[in-house]
Amino acid sequence: MSIDKIVKFMLIFVPITLLAQWLHLSHALIFILSVLAIVPLAALIAGTTEVIAAVIGPTFGGLLNATFGNLTEMVVSVVALRAGLIEVVKASILGSVIANLLLGLGLSMFLGGLRFKEQKFHPEIARLNSSALLLSVLVLVTPSAIHLTSTTQLLERQLQRFSVAASLLLLIFYTLTIIFFNKKRKDEAELLLLENPEVETNHPNGMGKQIFILLGLTVFLIIISEILVGNLEETIKVMGFSELFTGTFILPLFSGIVEYITCISAGTKNQMDLSVSVAIGSTLQITLFVTPILVLISLFMTTPLTLEFNIFVIFAAVSSVLIINSISSDGSSNWLEGVLLLIFYSVLGAAFYLHP
Residue-level pLDDT at 342: 95
Task: Report the DSSP beta bridge partners of residue 333.
Answer: 119
Separation CA 30–CA 36 (nearest Å): 10
Quick check: 265 and 3 in contact, CB under 8 A? Answer: yes
- Sequence-distant (6+) residues with CB within 8 A of 193 are 199
Separation CA 228–CA 245 (nearest Å): 16
Q: C-alpha angle with apex 72: 68 to 76, nearest 5 degrees?
A: 130
CATH architecture type of domain 3-354? Up-down Bundle (1.20)
Query: Which one-letter amino acid corresponds to residue 222?
Result: I
Residue-level pLDDT at 199: 46
Q: Where are the alpha helices (DSSP H) in 150-290?
A: 156-195, 207-230, 232-239, 243-245, 251-255, 257-268, 272-285
pLDDT digits (tens, 9 = 90+) for 211-270: 888 888 888 888 988 888 888 878 888 888 888 888 898 888 877 777 788 788 888 888
pLDDT digits (tens, 9 = 90+) for 76-94: 888 888 888 888 889 999 9
Residues lower than pLDDT 70 in the chain = 1-3, 53-54, 56-69, 151-154, 184-207
Query: Which one-letter amino acid corresponds to residue 90?
Result: K
Whole-model pTM: value is 0.82
| Domain boundary assignment for the chain | 3-354
Residue-level pLDDT at 293: 92
Quick check: 131 and 112 in contact, CB under 8 A? Answer: no
Residue-level pLDDT at 168: 94
Quick check: 341 and 102 in contact, CB under 8 A? Answer: yes
